[in-house]
Every structure is written in C-alpha cells, then in structure tokens.
Structure 1
Amino acid sequence: MCIITYVPAADTNRDINIATWTIGAFFPSANLLRALFLTFNEFSVLCHGTKVASYPGGWDVYGSCIAYLIIQSVLLATFLVAYDSGWRPAVLGRKKHKAQELEETDDVDPAVYPEAVRVEQCKDELRVLHATKAFGLNVAVQDVSFGVPKGETFALLGPNGAGKSTTIGLIRGDTRPSEGQSDILIEDTSIISHRAAARSNLGVCPQFDAMDQMTAIEHLRFYARARGVPNVEHNVEQVLHAVGLAPFKSRMAGKLSGGNKRKLSLGIALIGNPSVVLLDEPSSGMDAASKRVMWRTLRAVSAGRSLVLTTHSMEEADALADRAGIMARKMLALGTSDQLRKKHGDAYHVHLVHRNAPNTSESEMNNIKAFIQRTFPGAVTEERVFHGQLRFSVPNDRTAGYDDTPEILDKSGTVTSASPAHASSRTGISALFAELEASKEKLGFEYYSVSQATLDQVFLSIVNKHNVMEENYVREHPKAKGTVLQRLGRGVKDRVHLCF
C-alpha cells in the first residue's frame, strides 16, 4: 500500500515486484502472498505494459514464488534436522547467568573435585562433564560432574527443586547445557553434538507409565521397531524374561498391576540392550512387597550396564546404589553409602527405654542424661523425652577407647574407676555396649538399641549443613528468600517494631 500511495504510477509494478521478491527471499509466507496477488491480478502484477503475461512459469510470474519456496524448504529442513541433532548457532550458546563464585565452592565435599578430574580422564559408559543449565538468571544445575562405569548403579539424590530432573533432561538430550564446556558423553559419544547416535545406547524408564491400548508384548514390539532393533522377536522375549513379565505378556497393559506396569516401563527402557539406563522413581506408587520385587529385578538387569537412579526413598538408594550423589543445584557430596556415613554421619545412635515407661519421672531421665554427658563426652542428647524413651548420638571416635579412666556406677550408687586393663580392652562399639550394660540396672533402663546413621540421617545432615530449602518451602515462605543483607534488614526491621 505504501508503494502504491507514494511511488509514481509508472514505477509501481517494478517496485512491487522488487518488494515481494526481496521479502519473499526471507519469508515463505511472502511468496504465498505474491502467488495470491498473481492469481487475482491484484495491483495489475500480471500486466506487462498493455498485455497479460503469457507464460505462468516465468520468473516475474509464478516462477520466483516456486523457486523461493523450494530453496527455503531445503534450507529450513536442513536447519531443523541439524537443530534436532544437537547443533546450535553460537549466538544461542551465550552465557546469560552469573558465574559461580569461588567462595560458593568452599563447603563442598572434598570427594566432588576428584570425581570431576577422574571423569575427564576415564572411559566410563556415562560421563557428565561440568553440566550447567540456567533458565534466564535462575541457575538450576551448576557445574555438576560425575561418571558411571559399567556395572555400577549411581543414585542421584536431592530435595525438591534441587535440579535432579534438569540433570536427567540434560543426560537424555532433551535440554541443552548453558555452558560451552558442558558435555554429556554416552559410550564416548556426545549427546549434545550427536544426539541420535548417543541415544541408541540410552534407555529411559520414566516416572509415569506411558501405557497404550496394547498388550505387554505388543508394547515391547512397538518400541523395538521404533528403535530399529534387529531380530525383534528374540529381543522382546529376552526382555520379557529379564523383567519377569513372561506370564503376563498377552495381558492388556492397562490391566496389569502397578508393579508389573513399572516392570513394563523398565522393559521398554531395556529394549535394544542399552549400556546406560536412566531410572526416574522406578518404584513410585508401589507397596513395600512390590518394591522388593522391583529391586530384585533391577539388580538382575544391572549387570553390564550403567544405571542412574533418581529417588526420594533413601532406603531404595541404600539398597540399590553402589554410589550416591547428593545435589542441590550443585553436587554437595558424593561417594558410597559407607563413605557418606563416615564423613557426614559417623556416630552411633542409641535409643533407651526406661523400665517405668511411660510413667518415668523427670528425675530418673535427668540421671540418665547426666550419665550420658559424664560417660560420653561429645554426645548429643535430644532435649525431648518421649514418655520414658531417650535418644542420643555418640561420635564414633569417642567410643574407640577413652583416654581417661572410665567410670562405672556400682550398686550403692558410688562412681568407681575401672582398671586400666579394662579400659584398654574396650574399642569401637564394644566400649559403648560395655558402658550401657554396666550401668543398665542402676539407671533403670530396660531396653536399648544401637545403630549406625541411616542414609536418611546423612541426607538431612548434608542438606541442613548447606541450608538447602525445598522448592515448595521457598514458594510458601517468601521471607526465607533474599540475600544476606536483605534478611538482615528484615531482622532489624522486626526488632524495631518490637521496641516501639
């Protein structure tokens, strides 16, 4: 309309052709618009002087529209295939988030850094190298590195909003890292630059079952053909027997029990015999008995594969995982269950029950507390007394033999000293049992139990140490957010209100 309004009449057709050809070179819709103009001879674009164009395939008629659309189809299809395969223009890979501060890495478990160095040099089936993902200014995953060799199960643990799902998305190739140095290698193939090739060695068992109106064996056949697996029937039969679904292979997937549905999802992940398998909450929604069956199945199929397990059940992680990583945006701690216990929960937890419970008097419980503080220096006693029950923790190094001569209560209530030979003979947990047995009758506790720290307690210890809050808690308690200065300002403001 601008051309028709402001351009001299003698140059209108020329300028309209130039405008539509130029715009059409970049926008396919402009070629379609020009074709409509030609069809209805709008603005007399078909007219050449006093005559109408005789050949519709000419460049100034439909030829330019067709040529542009063919070239654009090839270019856009090529770009789409390259983009879906992992290629990105350099401009889209620019860093938009704040880099990690040096002081933020000071309190991280020392085992995290050797793991990052090891992963760069090893040949593990799965290697996550400096994975970082930011959504705008919000950093969901920051410099996470770990490797999972063949035959190992690695548990990825963390509170809600810790970045576990984002990390799984990065491993699957659904999400691209925000840093150029980040990479995820599956069988030494980068899922960022060669997504299709890397995914051929990757199996995924999602948290929610993707069931269709097919039988169990039809599901496996469908996914086997979709992945291009040779010898489909043999592969399907092997998977059915591996996950224990052979007796139910002809049953509709929707009619399977919850445990068998999870087995079917696991079987789908195993189609094609992938070397790396991601398990997202594999036993979610299952009862205790079904969980144990599922765990046995996972142990049976883990041989020769690298398994990555995400779960909120510390019991499940302790039972299945060879190593565990606890993360909250970044990796906070990493190691085997025993290593994590020694570093973050190296203590014996004692639970005492008084013989008069639940009618125990306060003085009786205070006597037990005094005994604990006197006998086990460094012990942490819970303040609350649960109707004659008391719990306390004794650091492991405190029970491995005492420097001072130990004290024992005799029947008359007098504190006596044990002989040096008696003191030197007590080491480790035996020292703790000896003290409890020696004073059991006098102090009046009927039962007691001694246990090591569970993975739950280790997890809570690490999370509390780093002041990690769950995503839902931050959303429901906005005052908990903010910088140190903001929280300090709110605290001063509250105090001023109290004073006036």
Structure 2
Amino acid sequence: DGLSLDFYEGQITSFLGHNGAGKTTTMSILTGLLPPTSGTAYILGWDIRSDIDSIRKSMGMCPQHNVLFDILTVEEHIWFYGRLKGLAEEQVQAEMEQLLQDTGLPHKRQEQTRNLSGGMQRKLSVAIAFVGGSKVVVLDEPTAGVDPYSRRSIWELLLKYRKGRTIILSTHYMDEAELLGDRIAIISQGRLRCCGSPLFLKGRLGTGYYLTLVKRERTELGAGGPDPTKKDSGTSEGGEGDSEGSAADVPQLSALLQQHVPGSRLVEDIGREVLFVLPYSGARDGAFGELFRELDARLGELGISGYGISDTTLEE
C-alpha cells in the first residue's frame, strides 16, 4: 500500500513484521510471482513489469516453505540450479564444493533431501538462492521453524555472502532482524512504518541505555566479598577493603547519575537491583566514562557490589 523503499548492494535489509503484514506479498511481487496492482520496482535497472526474465538471471530466492525434489540429492540440487542459471560444469563443481562447506552439508552431499532434517533442508534452500552468483537474493523467513544451531549456521552464511550482493530478508524475529539487518524496514498492514539501521531506530524510538546496579548487603559488607553473580555486557566489581559501610543509598546514586548524565531516571528498585535509564546523549559527550570511573572508585561508599550496562533491544 504505497510502499516505497530502496535496497543497497552489500547490505542485508530486514523486512520485519507480524504474520499477515505483507512481507511475503512484497517479496512475491519483487520476484515476479505476483503482478503489482500499481506502481513498479526496479532491480539492477530492470523493470519487474517488463524485464522479469532478465532480472531472474541475477536473482535467487528462498521461499517461505522448502521447494525441494525428494528424490534428488543435496549436490544434485546445487548442480541442477547452477546449470539452470547457465553456469559451466567446472563452475558448478567449484560452487557446489564451496556451498557444501559453508552450509556444513558436505557429509550429506549424496543424501536425498527427503532424508534430511528440517534444519538441513532449510540450509539447502538458502544455499540454492545463492547459486549462480545471484546478485539479488530474496529470503522469505529463512530460519522459520529451524533449530537454534541451524539458525545460527544460516546467519553465518548470510553474513559471509553479503558482500557484493543485495539481500532482502523477511522475518518476524526481532533478534534476527537486529543481528543481520544493516537496515530494518518495519511493515504493517502492507505499509512501511519506519526504516533505518538498528542504531538509528533505537536512537529514535529507544529509551536509552540500561544501567543495573547490584546492592551490597550488610552481611557482605562485613565479609568484604563482592557479588560474583552479576552478569552483563559491562561489569565492574568492588575492592576487598570495603569491610564497613551501609546498604545502597538510592537517592545518592540518583544524584550522582544526574550529575554526570543529566536526564537519567530511576526505573525500578526491586530486591538487590536498582535499574536506571541513561539517555543516548550521555554516550556522545563522554559522560559515561567519567561516571564509570567514579562508580569504580566509590563502590563501597555507595553500597553497591557491581554494575552492568546494556543497550535497548529492538524488541523493547
């Protein structure tokens, strides 16, 4: 519905949206499976309404559901699609070996696809999309229904093959869109809602960085031992000399954060953890560095045993 979007070479563009948002329909139009009701799209300078045959020579696609021949083996599939794309026999053999290695399927090369697991079938379907040096690759939910290990393998394959190609990927997994997408296009009810890099979207729509501080209990203060259980992307532990002190002073912590990073706010104070949100602007002017140095120096005085900072996720 009035969709206007550019895709760039050397990038993965993630189409993110719920089921029925229009991702598959958009991809079907780009690949010529469905005609556009109005407007058009240009791929490598060709119009999809009149030059779809020329486009398909440089395009690869992985549909939402596997389209494999049960009686053909893994390498026969790659050979078949390579020859269909016009590759010479030597080129097909070289590409076959490379794809089998990159997909982790060399030990299954002589196996008929009906005997493969769902994850292996999906990896083969994705590999077929790259056969023949496809310059534009359209992947419709390539990791849907696969196990975590196969999902990770497909991610690695896409990141490796991104260079020199334009990859369009649809997904309804937030983490997948964020990890793979150089740009993310969020689509709903056939309309583009927003588009940009993960960092841009989080900067415009996100709340900021999350700073989690772990309170030091009085028993710990007596023992002088820090909390070893805190885990986060950035972690600091207290020294051994803090044998005396008090529990965390949340108002004092709030004042300290406001001093270094104006706009910081307390989100929750539950149990042994205190959670603050720090605005993105604090990272740009170097205020975070000063804040962390002071926290490290005053852990015992502030009554905390450690802290960690993490970014807003795309889902949040």
TM-score where L is the length of structure 2: 0.76
Find the aligned partners of 1:275 and 1:173 in 2 and give their Cα distance. 16
The residue aligned with 2:54 is 197
Find the aligned partners of 2:118 and 2:141 in 1 and give their Cα distance. 13
Give the one of 241, 247, 260 matched to 2:98. 241
Is 2:195 the counterpart of 1:311?
no
Give the one of 260, 266, 269 matched to 2:129. 269
Is 2:184 the counterpart of 1:327?
no
Give the one of 6, 13, 30 matched to 1:154. 13
Tell me the alpha carbon deviations over residues 417-458 of structure 1, each in whole angstroms, 9 at most, x when there is no partner: xxxxxxxxxx3321331453355323422221012333333x
Partner of 1:378, secondary structure, is coil
Does the C-alpha gap of structure 1 residues 369 and 201 become closer, same or farther in structure 2, counting only changes over 3 Å?
Answer: farther
Find the aligned partners of 1:242 and 1:399 in 2 and give their Cα distance. 42
Partner of 2:2, secondary structure, is strand
Higher RCO, Cα 8 Å, sep 6+ = 2
The residue aligned with 1:453 is 312
Larger radius of gyration, structure 1 or 2?
A: 1
> Contact 1:153–1:307 (CA<8 Å) still a contact in 2?
yes
Find the aligned partners of 1:334 and 1:243 in 2 and give their Cα distance. 34
Give the C-alpha shift of residue 354 in structure 1: 1.8
Give the C-alpha shift of residue 238 in structure 1: 0.8
Give the one of 249, 260, 276 matched to 1:392. 276
Root-mean-square deviation (Å)? 3.0
Give the C-alpha shift of residue 283 in structure 1: 2.6
Find the aligned partners of 2:284 and 2:251 in 1 and give their Cα distance. 21
The residue aligned with 2:77 is 219
Find the aligned partners of 1:187 and 1:347 in 2 and give their Cα distance. 38
> Contact 1:224–1:236 (CA<8 Å) still a contact in 2?
no
> Contact 1:202–1:274 (CA<8 Å) still a contact in 2?
yes
Give the one of 129, 133, 157 matched to 1:297. 157
The residue type equivalent to 1:381 in the other structure is L
Partner of 2:306, secondary structure, is strand
Give the C-alpha shift of residue 349 in structure 1: 1.2
Correspondence list, 1:136-155, <5 A: 141-149=1-9, 151-155=10-14
Does the C-alpha gap of structure 1 residues 249 and 375 become closer, same or farther in structure 2, counting only changes over 3 Å?
Answer: closer
The residue aligned with 2:240 is none
Give the one of 114, 121, 146 matched to 1:254. 114
> Contact 2:207–2:277 (CA<8 Å) still a contact in 1?
no
The residue type equivalent to 2:50 in the other structure is S
TM-score where L is the length of structure 1: 0.50
Structure 2 stretches lacking a partner, 5+ long = 219-246
Is 2:253 the counterpart of 1:371?
yes
Count of matched residue pairs = 282
Does the C-alpha gap of structure 1 residues 174 and 400 become closer, same or farther in structure 2, counting only changes over 3 Å?
Answer: closer
Does the C-alpha gap of structure 1 residues 300 and 281 become closer, same or farther in structure 2, counting only changes over 3 Å?
Answer: same
Partner of 2:3, secondary structure, is strand
Correspondence list, 1:5-404, <5 A: 141-149=1-9, 151-179=10-38, 182-211=39-68, 212-224=70-82, 227=84, 229-232=86-89, 234-235=91-92, 237-244=94-101, 245-328=105-188, 329-345=190-206, 347-356=208-217, 367-368=249-250, 371-372=253-254, 375-376=257-258, 377-383=262-268, 385-398=269-282
Find the aligned partners of 1:451 and 1:145 in 2 and give their Cα distance. 31
Find the aligned partners of 1:192 and 1:240 in 2 and give their Cα distance. 36
Query: Runs in 1 of length 4+ with deviation above 4 angstroms?
Result: 398-401
Does the C-alpha gap of structure 1 residues 370 and 400 become closer, same or farther in structure 2, counting only changes over 3 Å?
Answer: farther
The residue type equivalent to 2:120 in the other structure is N
Give the C-alpha shift of residue 166 in structure 1: 2.1
The residue aligned with 1:84 is none
> Contact 2:257–2:291 (CA<8 Å) still a contact in 1?
no
Tell me the alpha carbon deviations over residues 186-229 of structure 1, each in whole angstroms, 9 at most, x when there is no partner: 2211112232222222111123222323211222334345x352
Find the aligned partners of 1:243 and 1:369 in 2 and give their Cα distance. 59
The residue type equivalent to 1:206 in the other structure is P
The residue type equivalent to 1:143 in the other structure is L
Find the aligned partners of 1:159 and 1:386 in 2 and give their Cα distance. 33
Bigger helix share:
1
Partner of 1:455, secondary structure, is coil
Give the C-alpha shift of residue 172 in structure 1: 1.6
